[in-house]
Amino acid sequence: MHVLHVSGVTNWGGGEYHIENLCSELSTSNPGIKNTVLCVKNSPFEKRLSETNITFVSASLAIKIDLRYVFKIGEICRKQKVDIIHIHDPSALQLTIIADKIYNLPSFVYSKKTSFPIKERKKTLYKYNYSKIKKILCVSKETQKVAEKAIADKTKLLTIYHGTNLKTKSTKTPFLIREKYNIAKNKAIIGHIGNHIRAKHLETLINVAHRLINIEKRTDVFFVQIGTFSERTEALLEQVKNLDLKEHIVFMGYTPKASNFIPQFDIALMTSQSEGLPQFIYESMYHKTPIVSTDVGGIPELISHEENGLLAPMHDDQSLSNHIKKLLDSKELKAQFASKSYNKLLEQFTTANMAQETVKVYKTILKHA
């Protein structure tokens, strides 16, 4: 079969990493499945794909509905005999539906990768309930539960955890964070990876730093944040300045192969207010870095509080700070959480498992086509 993966995202994030992992796993385990990725021209994702063996095509997406992108979907399906279109984000879904009106495309699979509710708008509900969508693959049980409210045919919904790719792991980095930013050896590095988007709520991360450093007077912590800057970044930097934290936190911006830096973190901190299931959690579990996180989205499906990590409600910088202190003061607890998370990851959350579950979906759809 030939699967066309459609991405309408203009930056690089966990969703694009999922596409890369899925295609890489399928090329090894199911070589009979041809995968082609359609991505946005001149995007970080296109650059990333150019460094892999994954077959890809790019198209311009200068405005929300760019007909050049729509026509490219139709052209690929017509010329390359695509059997299934796997759509990976809301923008791609809208563009593919428009293309279907012109070209009468094959069946769709849609991956829902966030726990944002589907808005109860007529156009939005039409899009997510479009007849060509045969299955909606949810990144977590929580994402599936949220999606159920807007999807008429609940049998279309299925949870498939994305997991992490064990074959691509590396600790190789162009520099050591501690050396580059002159971080003293007695300071624990509290690390976070995520783009500067609303869902990640980096304001909470800064508030945690403020509480530990300015209120609790902890002199043994330093915060490192890795992720693509956005229109939100200026306000975040202003918050850092106003709280006199410039000597205690660094924003590294977009950094290639960011997960390779995770072993340099003493604690992985997640402060999101909304999530599907972030790759940062998977990667931290693999690299045996103990995790402190908010309990949003599917995160509690990976991290059980006080068993393999510590969880707090979203925006609760006090609880997150207390959790960090608890880990800093107990080497035994850090080792216990790291070991249990690693074993849980290997048993349940790998991209090899994800790829095989996805293939089953593809085959079922073709069987009933």
User: Would you list the DSSP string of 295-348?
Assistant: --TTGGGT--BTTTBEEE-TT-HHHHHHHHHHHHT-HHHHHHHHHHHHHHHHHH
Distance in angstroms between the alpha carbons of the first and the last residue of the chain: 13
**What is the per-residue pLDDT for 79?**
96
**In the chain, what are the domains?**
2-163+350-367 (3.40.50.2000), 168-348 (3.40.50.2000)
**What is the per-residue pLDDT for 116?**
87
Q: Quick one: which of 240, 316, 326, 254 has its CA closest to 291?
A: 326
Q: Distance between CA 323 and CA 167 in Å, rounded?
A: 32
350 neighbors 164 (Cβ within 8 angstroms): yes
**Structure tokens belonging to residue 339:** 């070991």
Residue with structure tokens 């790019």? 58
365 neighbors 3 (Cβ within 8 angstroms): no
63 strand-pairing partners: none
Q: What are phi and psi of 301, to 5 degrees?
A: -75, -15
Q: What is the pTM of this model?
A: 0.84
pLDDT along the chain (369 residues), means of 10: 96 88 93 96 95 96 95 97 97 98 98 91 97 97 95 97 89 97 97 96 98 97 97 98 98 95 98 91 96 96 97 98 97 96 94 95 92
**What is the per-residue pLDDT for 276?**
82
66 neighbors 60 (Cβ within 8 angstroms): yes
**What is the per-residue pLDDT for 69?**
98
**What is the per-residue pLDDT for 165?**
86
Question: Which spans in the chain are helix H?
Answer: 14-29, 44-49, 67-80, 90-103, 122-128, 141-148, 177-180, 202-210, 233-242, 279-286, 317-328, 331-348, 351-367
135 neighbors 361 (Cβ within 8 angstroms): yes
Cα atoms in the Cβ-side hemisphere of radius 13 Å centred on 244 = 6
Q: Which amino acid is at 60?
A: S
Q: Quick one: which of 42, 48, 3 has its CA closest to 168?
A: 48
Q: Quick one: which of 98, 264, 109 has its CA closest to 191?
A: 264
Q: Distance between CA 298 and CA 311 in Å, rounded?
A: 12
Q: Quick one: which of 189, 14, 208, 188 has its CA closest to 115?
A: 14
Q: Distance between CA 176 and CA 62 in Å, rounded?
A: 37
271 neighbors 208 (Cβ within 8 angstroms): yes
Q: Quick one: which of 305, 358, 355, 336 has its CA closest to 25?
A: 355
